[in-house]
Structure 1
Amino acid sequence: MSERTAPRALVLLLVTASAVVVLAGIKAISTIVGPIVLALVLVVAVSPIREWLVRRQAPAWTAVAVPFSVVMVALLGMMAILSTAVAQLAVLLPSYSAQFNKLVADTQRWAAQHGIAPQVNEALRSVDAGKVVELAQGLAASVLGVVSSLFLIVVLLLAMSLDAPVVSRIMAAAAPERPAITTALATFASRTRRYLLVSTIFGLICAALDVLALYLLSVPLPLLWGVLALITNYIPNIGFVVGLVPPALLALLTGGLPRMILVIVAYLAINIVVQSFIQPKFLGDAVGLSTTVTFLSLILWATVLGPLGALLAIPLTLLARALLIDSDPGVRWSAAFVSGELPPDRADATGSSPSRGSV
Structure 2
Amino acid sequence: MKPAPFALLADLASDPVNGWSIGSFGAIGEFVRDADEPVTIARKVDAITVVTARGAMRIKPLVPLQAIAWDSLAADGESWGHALAFCVARPATPNRVIISLGPDRKAIRKEDRGAAMFDLGVAAGAVHMCLRTRDAALIAALDAAQGNALLDTPGIMAEVLRAQPHRVMLSPAGRIEVFQPIPPADGKSPEGPHTHLLPKLIAKDRTHSSNTPLPDGLQSALTAHPRSPWRTMLGERYPFDPSIDAVFQPLLATYGLPEDMAVHAAITGAVAKGQTPTWPETRRGRTKARIVLRRLAATGVDVQSLRALHDRAPLEIEEGEEP
With normalisation by structure 2, the TM-score equals 0.28
Structure of higher CA gyration radius: 1
Higher helix share: 1
- Of structures 1 and 2, the one scoring higher in RCO (CA 8 A, sep 6+) is 2
